[in-house]
Amino acid sequence: MPVSTTAPPSPPGRRTVAAVMAALLLGLLLSALDQMIVAAVMRTVADQLHGLTLQAWATTAYLATGVVSTPLYGRLSDLYGRKPLYLVSISLFLLGSALCAAAQSMYQLAAFRAVQGLGAGGLMALAFAILADMLPPERRSRHQAWFGAAFGVASVAGPVLGGLFAGLDRLGGVAGWRWAFLVNLPIGAVALFLVATLYRLPHTRVPHRVDYGGALTLLLGLAPLLVVAEQGGHWGWASARTLALAGLGAAGLAAFVLTERRMGDAALLPPAMFRRPLFAVSNAVNTVVGMGVFGGLSVLPMYLQIVKGLSPGAAGLMLLPQTLGIIAGGRLCGPVVTRTGRHKGFLLLGLACMTGCALAFSRLSPGTSLWTTGTVTTLMGLGIGVCFQVMLLAIQASAPPGAMGAASASYTFFRQIGGTAGTAVYLSVLFALTGDRVAGALHDAERTPEFGAALRDPAVADTPAARRLLSALRDGTAPDLDDSSFLDRLDPRLARPVLEGLSGAMDSVFLIVTGVLAAGLVLALFLKDTGKDAGKDTDRKDRKEKTA
């Protein structure tokens, strides 16, 4: 594999590192925050652009281009340098944001979200590679913990900002929802300026083939599967449309694997890297953890807001301890892992903590105290911080010479794949279970004296919220929960069984998350530590094979 001299002779000064770190964190925050904010405003956007049934395409376009471009940025940056690729990625993201803010239809929005996704892939993939270029491992690990915090901050601030923009009619003469995209522009401009002016690491261009065929086949594989994940429940999982797209996606992924094998060291994800046990097992665990973290924890804000009745802002504050846990977990374990080269023990510890917390989440109910929820959330954050940091360090430690960009991109790529799949699956399961669980809880509640007394009280039963519930009771179904705000106006005695049904459906999702994370724990048992020299034996073997 050609070797690119991307490492400077000595690390840059602390002020330069701090400024570039700030830019990288802003870029990561932009990418993560955008997904959270847009998810919160998407229904409002779809209503105003008269395309409620088309909103899945806007989400799919962003995810598909973002996931596919992630490994492409990694490989191109190994060849041409990090700085120009990072400037391209953030410029594309800002261009896409401005176009989305000006969209006049859902079709336009979907196309512009695809442009935005092309930029987002670089913001995620290149941040870790740039930091790896700037700093040696012993200094790098302390800074990388802050990257995990960016996702935690996004999970707290995103729903709050999204709810704020969705609720605004107009701001500064512009429709409120358009600020979900306009807010990216000033933040991104600062990141663009800092990287353009302060990041000056040398790079020697190495002629190399670019795996555009791999990018195309990966897009052909992932895009249909993302559409299935978004729409499969609505179309029917056994419908002809779902099965056709699933088949097309499987064929695309098969073509991608064949293309990668043919491209060899020039592939987006070089197959030689997967012959390194530390790299292969770490990314397998990375995918599973992505499913558990980003998929499973998408349900927690719903529990806090709907079941516990918290406002979006208060729910966001309840998730703040998770962010602090992510930072603490990464900063505590990073230097030790870097110094010793031992990844397995910390990874098992982090996964065990996360699995136990997911099991605790499966016991949440309307009566669970916020103190208990906050404690479990904090411990979950600690586990996430440890796992994210250890997996990244393991993947980077096993990277072949000249492939740090591809290796760092693989970390983001596989985590995104897991998170996207997990979110689609868990939300499908949640909404599939909710109706039956709520209807069952209401049926049981009808026989309780408290529920009956509330129904016989004219002051309670004659309200619009109660009439909506009574209509569902007469039909033997659950009330329509597309707009759950009626629960805030419902008498607590009538609302309790609905909340218990919702909580029960969420408990089932968290049980599935527990099983997924437990599977990750089992996978991590196959990780083989080789100490600080991880990957060097494989490097020597690769060189011998090339010489032979």
Looking up tokens 């009771």 gives 473
Q: Look at residue 225 and tell me if it is in a domain.
A: no
The neighbouring-strand residues paired with 174 are: 171
Which of the four pLDDT bands, split at 50, 70 and 90, describes residue 266?
confident
Q: What share of the chain in percent tops pLDDT 90?
A: 17
Q: Look at residue 357 and tell me if it is in a domain.
A: no
Q: Look at residue 252 and tell me if it is in a domain.
A: no
Q: Look at residue 399 and tell me if it is in a domain.
A: no
User: Which domain CATH number covers 70?
Assistant: 1.20.1250.20
Which of the four pLDDT bands, split at 50, 70 and 90, describes residue 531?
low
* Tens digit of each residue's pLDDT (9 = 90 or more) over 374-415: 899 899 989 988 998 888 888 888 877 666 777 877 888 888
If one counts the domains in the chain, the total is 1
Range with top average pLDDT, 234-238, 255-259, 457-461: 255-259
Q: Look at residue 169 and tell me if it is in a domain.
A: yes
Average pLDDT, the chain: 81
Longest dimension (CA), the chain: 89
Q: What are the residues whose beta carbons fall under 8 Å from the beta carbon of 474, sequence distance 6 or more?
A: none
d(CA 71, CA 110): 22
The neighbouring-strand residues paired with 171 are: 174
Within 10 A of 136 (CB to CB), how many other CB atoms are there? Answer: 12
CB 403 within 8 A of CB 1: yes
pLDDT for position 546: 47
Within 10 A of 372 (CB to CB), how many other CB atoms are there? Answer: 12
d(CA 428, CA 509): 10
pLDDT for position 92: 95
d(CA 383, CA 137): 21
pLDDT for position 538: 47
End-to-end Cα separation, the chain, in angstroms: 14
* Tens digit of each residue's pLDDT (9 = 90 or more) over 468-515: 878 877 777 777 766 666 777 788 888 888 888 888 888 998 999 999
pLDDT for position 518: 94
d(CA 308, CA 40): 19
Pair type for strands 174-175 and 170-171: antiparallel
* Tens digit of each residue's pLDDT (9 = 90 or more) over 48-85: 887 655 666 787 788 888 888 888 888 788 778 888 89
Q: Look at residue 222 and tell me if it is in a domain.
A: no
d(CA 228, CA 239): 11
The helix (H) or strand (E) run that includes residue 171 is strand 170-171
pLDDT for position 54: 67
Structure pTM?
Answer: 0.77
* Tens digit of each residue's pLDDT (9 = 90 or more) over 374-383: 899 899 989 9
CB 226 within 8 A of CB 64: yes
User: Range of 118's domain?
Assistant: 1-202
Phi-psi region of 531 (alpha: psi -120 to 50; beta: other; left: phi over 0): left
Q: Look at residue 334 and tell me if it is in a domain.
A: no
d(CA 1, CA 403): 9
Considering only residues 15 and 285, tell me which one the structure prediction assigns the higher pLDDT.
285
Q: Is the pLDDT of residue 137 over 50?
A: yes
Q: Is the pLDDT of residue 151 over 60?
A: yes
Q: Look at residue 147 and tell me if it is in a domain.
A: yes
Q: What are the residues whose beta carbons fall under 8 Å from the beta carbon of 84, sequence distance 6 or more?
A: none
Phi then psi dihedrals of residue 426, to 5 deg: -65, -40
